[in-house]
Amino acid sequence: MNELITHSAAELAAKLAAKEVSAVEVVQAHLDRIAEVDGEVNAFLHVNTEEALAVATEVDTARAAGGAEAGRLHGLAGVPIAIKDLIVTIGQPTTAGSAMLRGWMSPYDATVIQKIRAAKMPMLGKTNLDEFAMGSSTEHSAYGPTRNPWDLDRIPGGSGGGSAAAVAAYEAPLALGTDTGGSIRQPAAVTGSVGVKPTYGGVSRYGAIAMASSLDQIGPVSRTVLDSALLHEVIGGHDPADSTSLTDPVGALAEAARTGNVAGMRIGVVRELQGEGYDAGVQQRFDESLELLRGAGAEIVEVSCPNFKYALGAYYLIMPSEASSNLAKFDGVRYGLRVLPEDAPLTIERVMGASRAAGFGDEVKRRIILGTYALSAGYYDAYYGSAQKVRTLVQRDFDAAFAQADVLISPTAPTTAFKLGEKLDDPLAMYLNDVATIPANLAGVPGISVPGGLAGGLPVGIQFLAPAREDARLYRAGAALEKLLEDKWGGPLLAQAPVLGGVK
């Protein structure tokens, strides 16, 4: 155990810049931590030891050279990062958590990976996820579940349970996630970490294996709000390779996080995202956070988003519809698993069928079947068409709410981390865990989850939502709440996590 791993990315960056520590030391400390605890946590599907150290060495060399070369180094150069294994990387396998892509090596880098490389942030490896990001528990991975560092018998959330657990277990200070219905924010909530879903189009999706194109968004995972802002500034911005990418500049996100002030801010409590269905302990922590924010000068207002109650239903039509189409390419013809049918005849249709039957897990098949059905002739209008109308209504609810409030607030998830296996046979119960995160994806607005305390010894997440392109507000409000709570707790929430491999 090395105390280096307990530092935030911002702290590590400062130490590196001051040459108090080398990038190789930082990377090695995290690699050691992974070796030490990941057998239990299973956050990583691949550990990128050699390349991570090589990049760290480059950073150290540049810094030692001083002058212009050192001056060109990005502020986060040498700060290591873990990558959700849904994002394609040259030199490391990209599996999407699926047997379909076991060992698949991408010949190209995602745009965000190009930016990570440009910033010379050593990539520690690829993190576990629900297969093709479909799930809320990381149990639907073909490579075994990831466990919650707070309680190894519990789920770390999903689909990005690997990235959240890696950060919460000090295996990495930063990670990339993807959020289609809450896959960054819900894992952050149940692991006591921070996760941000940027405005749709704010971060290039090029190279993120698509689940639902109109909902997917890459975003940062970290232990502090400032760290997410710093990472967001690295990965954000326009990308000509993504037609849905915004042309806006990224914005001064880290500055907003450093400001961290809610005085005069109107914070809207969404009436429909609390109460029934939300654990009492979750509700309690949420109410306490509201009081703290009020005490810090925020104006707490109640807003109503009446159509949010249809959001989950609409989501479970739009997402599987797009997923059924996006996953059609996995057919064993060009790459990935190829399985020949056991009996004759050997036709291309049957090879595709056998490959998909063997390569996809149950949850993926469930969604492909749902989506295929929803898009079928005669059902399209009733299902996909109606869902898109609901989506418009949800967007209008947001518009109305943001007319009354600068940001909205809710619990990130209705419960704390549940036990492994608890909801595996009840997909609907599993889906309900995303009820508070899904509206943001339907409307394309940004959201953040910050630690809100413990209920029954397990982390609770508080979610802020902001209007599209106003991601900075999330960092301002999130950092303010983080500071208010940490002052109350006397330190970060993760300091209260049980000992794992000798480090708190």
Catalytic pick from 8, 15, 22, 84?
84
* Alpha carbon distance 448, 178 (integer Å): 13
* CB distance 82 to 166 below 8 Å: yes
What is the H or E stretch that residue 438 is in? Answer: helix 438-443
* Alpha carbon distance 260, 479 (integer Å): 5
Indicate the burial class of 395 (C-beta count within 10 angstroms; 0-12, 13-18, 19 or more): middle
CB of 76 to another protein, least distance (A): 23
Cβ proximity to another protein: between 304 and 372 the closer is 372
Of 105-113, 255-263, 287-295, 478-486: span binding another protein (CB under 8 A)? 105-113
**Residue recorded with tokens 């294996």:** 209
Is beta strand 458-465 parallel, antiparallel or unpaired with respect to 407-411? antiparallel
- 84 catalytic? Reply is yes
Query: Cis peptide before 159, with omega less than 30 degrees from 0?
Result: yes
Site string (267-306) toward another protein, x via CB under 8 A: ----------------------------------------
Of 57-65, 87-95, 134-142, 228-236: span binding another protein (CB under 8 A)? 87-95
Q: Which of 241, 358, 382, 400 binds another protein (CB under 8 A)?
A: 241
- 19 catalytic? Reply is no
Catalytic pick from 136, 141, 159, 193?
159
Query: By CB under 8 A, is residue 94 in contact with another protein?
Result: yes
Give the distance between the most distant pair of CA atoms in the chain: 72
Q: Which of 214, 283, 284, 304 binds another protein (CB under 8 A)?
A: 214
Site string (355-384) toward another protein, x via CB under 8 A: -----------------x--xxx--x---x
Of 29-37, 121-129, 290-298, 348-356: span binding another protein (CB under 8 A)? 348-356
Of 201-209, 295-303, 461-469, 485-493: span binding another protein (CB under 8 A)? 201-209
- 115 catalytic? Reply is no
Cβ proximity to another protein: between 109 and 471 the closer is 109
3-class secondary-structure state, position 222: strand
Question: What angle do the packed helices 161-168 and 23-41 form, to 10 degrees?
Answer: 120
Of 34-42, 98-106, 309-317, 413-421: span binding another protein (CB under 8 A)? 98-106
Query: By CB under 8 A, is residue 61 in contact with another protein?
Result: no
Site string (306-345) toward another protein, x via CB under 8 A: ---------------xx-xx--xxxx-xxx----------
CB proximity list for 481: less than 8 A, separation 6 or greater:
262, 289, 292, 293, 450, 452, 462, 464
Query: By CB under 8 A, is residue 244 in contact with another protein?
Result: yes
* Alpha carbon distance 11, 4 (integer Å): 10
Query: By CB under 8 A, is residue 395 in contact with another protein?
Result: no
Query: By CB under 8 A, is residue 242 in contact with another protein?
Result: yes
Of 106-114, 219-227, 419-427, 477-485: span binding another protein (CB under 8 A)? 106-114
Query: By CB under 8 A, is residue 116 in contact with another protein?
Result: no
Query: By CB under 8 A, is residue 213 in contact with another protein?
Result: yes
Alpha helices in 360-435 (DSSP H): 362-374, 386-404, 427-432
Question: Which is nearest to 9 in space by CA: 86, 74, 84?
Answer: 74
Catalytic pick from 22, 136, 183, 355?
183
* Alpha carbon distance 334, 187 (integer Å): 33
* Alpha carbon distance 126, 117 (integer Å): 15
Report CA-CA distances (Å) from 133 to 216, 237, 486: 10, 23, 32
Cβ proximity to another protein: between 66 and 385 the closer is 385
Cβ proximity to another protein: between 38 and 331 the closer is 331
Is beta strand 218-222 parallel, antiparallel or unpaired with respect to 194-197? antiparallel
Indicate the burial class of 263 (C-beta count within 10 angstroms; 0-12, 13-18, 19 or more): exposed
Cβ proximity to another protein: between 302 and 349 the closer is 349
Which residue numbers are catalytic? 84, 159, 183
Residues engaged in binding another protein (CB under 8 A): 87-88, 94, 96, 101, 104, 106-108, 110, 205-210, 212-214, 240-244, 321-322, 324-325, 328-331, 333-335, 347-349, 352, 372, 375-377, 380, 384
